[in-house]
């Protein structure tokens, strides 16, 4: 298998978009349990809450989706394995572990929105925001890996 940049880009953008659906459905249906507003958290890293916060957050999420799907594809090549749904799930779990550790490092010194009180620091694996939010973060990363694992091969 050879690395295929367009396949990584397309599968990353689609997986990132699909990932947002359960996040925001969960926030609509259970706002007290699903506390992380991902696009607001990403947008307030760059600017105060305002009209462009969600647009900036969406752009950051799209770029991160491409980067992470590209990393998935690079690991497929490095490990000499074909992408698949099952491999995607494993990679989604690994992705969650990395992201969960990063969540724990977010603090007021690193994140403008946390410093300004616009968003709450999620803590490691988003556990500071509650068990439902942490479980949601795990599930959406598995979904991301599943979709990238399935689509990358299709687009290649």
Contact 125, 45 (CB under 8 A): no
Per-residue pLDDT reduced to its tens digit, 55-109: 999 999 999 999 999 999 999 889 888 888 889 999 999 999 999 999 888 776 7
24, 34 contact by CB (below 8 A)? no
Does pLDDT of 154 surpass 90?
Answer: no
Cβ contacts of 102 within 8 Å, gap of 6 or more? none
- Encode pLDDT of 52-61 as tens digits: 999 999 999 9
Interatomic CA distance for residues 31 and 136, integer angstroms:
12
């Amino acid at each position: 298998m050879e690395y295929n940049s367009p396949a990584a880009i397309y599968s990353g953008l689609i997986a990132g978009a699909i990932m947002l659906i359960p996040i925001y459905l969960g926030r609509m249906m259970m706002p007290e349990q699903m506390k992380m507003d991902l696009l607001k958290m990403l947008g307030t890293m760059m600017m105060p809450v305002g009209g462009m916060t969600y647009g900036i957050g969406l752009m950051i999420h799209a770029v991160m989706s491409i980067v992470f799907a590209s990393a998935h594809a690079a690991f497929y090549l490095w490990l000499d394995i074909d992408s698949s749904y099952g491999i995607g799930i494993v990679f989604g779990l690994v992705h969650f572990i990395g992201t969960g550790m990063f969540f724990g490092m977010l603090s007021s010194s690193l994140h403008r929105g946390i410093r300004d009180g616009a968003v709450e620091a999620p803590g490691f694996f988003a556990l500071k925001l509650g068990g439902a939010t942490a479980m949601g973060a795990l599930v959406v990363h598995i979904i991301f890996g599943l979709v990238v694992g399935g689509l990358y091969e299709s687009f290649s």
